[in-house]
């Protein structure tokens, strides 16, 4: 595409619910930039998002988005937060009144705001154009070329199709979804020589067709790193949740040759959260995906290497080296290892649930599946923060959301701020002392049998969507016989290893284990996988950073 043609397809978008203000902003923008850019205006956040999606489908570029802060139904910050997902490289400007400057400053954290302008902006030659000139220069200097999209053809009730979509979304790989029964989906299947019996079909950006690909193959084909660049490192971090990402940032920034190994996607359970509102420094909350993306970019900036879709199956002590073995038989070694495996959602043990997983029954997939839940009745099993966050997120579009809680109330395991939000949400209801007795459906979830724990009474309800958050267990079986764990599989460390001040059996050093050090010297643990951990994002990040300090101490004394 020529530079002139590209400029003609580049947009400056402005959104303001006041028609007069909207026209005035567009007029000033066209007077200055109309010869080089197309100015598009909208009068609500919803219509602006629709315009952005249409521009995306046509392959147009958006250089700058200007949004008024005080808009009904969806304010400017809420709009920009969703606009990021459509055009992440567009520069973002918030139009505010003087009284709203604190909100604008907060938006710098929430939506990576580039600038905020006070209204009125007259004269534009002094208050508007210099700001826009700088932002457009910065946008043109960046690599804003269209990102080729991966295409996924699947069925709505195909479990593997759902898994592939979640894998791509969580790894920030742009993709477009096509149902196998729509014209474009059928066309792609025919071009790949497939009849739709084997799904999903993934067509990568370079045109390669993959049928029912495993995560490792998919990761390699869409450009994710899967192979370590070296055989030996200072630090291997196993797990890419908040603890692992925190360790990768601090390890790499302090000069350690660091590699992070993740079996699925960075972020862990926190990365699947629709909004984390109690994390320090984000008073308006931050989505798990945004927090994860920032942490991943931060670690990469400092030189940390990140491998995806690599399952770790063993840990060995070879002299001073600590060797991590992968499922394919390969291995990587280091001076020190940090176990930051986090936890995996515990499976719901009820008839029919396993067979319908991915076909209406989901574990931690609320973000990926939310668009399909619009206007439907949704059931969420669980009473902790993950369940509460999913309920609030899904309630935005669902007809109703019902929380099924085994205990007598939410207060035992859910943060107070979430309980308050749920109580004030008109389409969320909470059924305590209620469990799922069975799931029913032919090919996809159709009904649930619910049982009252106290009376034993059962009830059959219609349901197409059920999301399960019933606690978690650490994926640490591969450590059996190497490091000490408690009866639930959580890794013991530091003071929890000693008895009467004595180090654990087999400990050969003349010092006790450091605070986050396991029963194997030079192997540390942080985050949810550690026994008696706090199970909070902030504490996991802090432990990841602390572990790096202890790794340095270990290396200095080795």
Q: Check residue 517 and report its DSSP letter.
A: B
Q: Which CATH class is domain 150-221?
A: alpha beta
Predicted local confidence at residue 278, as pLDDT: 86
Domain 232-343+474-557 has CATH 3.50.50.60: yes
- pLDDT at residue number 147: 52
Whether 494 contacts 484, CB under 8 Å: no
* CA–CA separation, 36 and 399 (whole Å): 44
What DSSP character marks residue 530? B
CB count within 10 Å of CB 417 equals 13
pLDDT of 3: 47
SS (H, E, C) 154-210: ECCCCHHHHHHHHHHHHCCCCEEEEECCCHHHHHHHHHCCCCCCCCCEEECCCCCEE
Alpha-carbon distance of 179 to 184, in angstroms, equals 8
- Residue 465 is predicted with a pLDDT of 97
pTM attached to this predicted model: 0.73
Residue ranges of domains in the chain: 3-141, 150-221, 232-343+474-557, 353-470
Residue ranges of the chain with pLDDT lower than 70? Answer: 1-8, 57, 98-111, 143-148, 366
Residues 58 and 52: their CA atoms lie apart, in Å, by 10
- CA 207 to CA 216: how far, in whole Å? 18
CATH of domain 3-141: 3.40.50.2300
At 284 the pLDDT is: 77
- pLDDT value of position 5: 47
CATH class, domain 353-470, is alpha beta
Which residues lie below 8 Å from residue 300, measured CB to CB, with a gap of 6+?
Answer: 306
Distance CA 366, CA 395 (A): 11
Choose among 235, 362, 367: nearest CA to 303. Answer: 235
> pLDDT per residue over 183-215, tens digit each?
889 989 998 899 989 999 999 988 899 999 999
CA distance 529 to 491: 6
For the chain, give the number of residues. Answer: 558
CA distances from 523 to 235, 314, 323, 372 (A): 10, 13, 10, 43
Q: Which two tokens stand for residue 58?
A: 């046509």
Q: Do domains 3-141 and 353-470 have the same CATH topology?
A: no
If phi > 0 it is left, if psi is from -120 to 50 it is alpha, else beta; for residue 309 that is left
Predicted confidence (pLDDT) per residue in 231-288, tens digit: 999 999 999 999 999 999 999 999 999 999 999 999 988 888 878 888 898 887 888 8
Structure confidence at residue 438 (pLDDT): 98
> Following CA atoms 300, 304, 307, 310 in sequence, which dihedral angle do they give, to the nearest 10 degrees?
-140
Residue with tokens 């990140």, as numbered in its chain: 306
């Amino acid at each position: 595409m020529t530079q002139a043609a590209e400029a003609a397809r580049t947009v400056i978008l402005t959104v303001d619910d006041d028609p007069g203000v909207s026209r005035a902003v567009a007029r000033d923008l066209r007077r200055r930039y109309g010869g080089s850019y197309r100015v598009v205006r909208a009068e609500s956040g919803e219509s602006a998002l629709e315009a952005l999606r249409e521009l995306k489908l046509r392959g147009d570029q958006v250089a700058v988005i200007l949004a008024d802060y005080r808009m009904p139904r969806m304010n400017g910050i809420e709009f920009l937060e969703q606009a990021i997902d459509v055009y992440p490289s567009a520069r973002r400007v918030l139009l505010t009144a003087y009284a709203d400057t604190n909100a604008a400053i907060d938006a710098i954290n929430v939506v990576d705001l580039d600038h905020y302008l006070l209204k009125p902006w007259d004269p534009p030659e002094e208050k508007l154009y210099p700001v826009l000139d700088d932002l457009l220069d910065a946008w043109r200097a960046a690599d804003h070329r269209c990102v080729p999209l991966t295409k996924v053809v699947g069925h709505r009730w195909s479990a593997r199709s759902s898994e592939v979509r979640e894998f791509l979304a969580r790894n920030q790989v742009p993709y477009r979804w096509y149902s196998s029964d729509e014209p474009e989906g059928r066309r792609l299947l025919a071009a790949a020589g497939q009849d739709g019996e084997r799904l999903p079909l993934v067509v990568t950006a370079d045109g390669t067709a993959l049928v029912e690909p495993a995560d490792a193959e998919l990761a390699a084909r869409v450009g994710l790193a899967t192979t370590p660049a070296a055989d030996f490192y200072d630090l291997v971090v196993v797990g890419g949740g908040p603890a692992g990402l925190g360790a990768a940032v601090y390890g790499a920034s302090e000069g350690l040759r660091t590699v992070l190994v993740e079996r699925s996607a960075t972020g862990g359970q926190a990365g699947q959260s629709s909004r984390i509102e109690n994390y320090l420094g984000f008073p308006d909350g931050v989505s798990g995906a945004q927090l994860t993306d920032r942490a991943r970019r931060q670690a990469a900036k400092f030189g940390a290497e990140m491998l995806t879709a690599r399952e770790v199956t063993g840990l060995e002590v070879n002299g001073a080296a600590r060797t991590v073995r992968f499922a394919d038989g390969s291995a990587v070694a280091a001076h020190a290892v940090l176990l930051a495996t986090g936890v995996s959602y515990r499976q719901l043990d009820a008839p029919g649930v396993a067979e319908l997983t991915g076909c209406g029954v989901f574990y931690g997939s609320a973000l990926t599946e939310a668009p399909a839940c619009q206007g439907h009745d949704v059931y969420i099993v669980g009473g902790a923060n993950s369940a509460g966050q999913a309920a609030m997120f899904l309630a935005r579009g669902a007809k109703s959301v019902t929380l099924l809680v085994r205990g007598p109330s939410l207060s035992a395991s859910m943060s107070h701020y979430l309980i308050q939000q749920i109580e004030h949400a008109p389409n969320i209801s909470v059924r305590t002392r209620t469990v799922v007795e069975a799931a029913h459906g032919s090919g996809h979830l159709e009904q649930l049998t619910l049982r009252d724990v106290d009376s034993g009474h059962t009830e059959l309800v219609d349901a197409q969507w059920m999301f399960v958050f019933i606690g978690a267990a650490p994926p640490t079986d591969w450590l059996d016989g190497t490091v000490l764990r408690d009866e639930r599989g959580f890794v013991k460390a530091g003071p929890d290893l000693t008895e009467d001040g004595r180090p654990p059996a087999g400990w050969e050093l003349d010092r006790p284990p450091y605070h986050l050090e396991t029963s194997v010297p030079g192997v540390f643990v942080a985050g949810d996988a550690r026994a008696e951990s706090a199970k909070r994002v902030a504490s996991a990040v802090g432990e990841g950073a602390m572990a790096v300090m202890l790794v340095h101490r270990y290396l200095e004394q080795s």
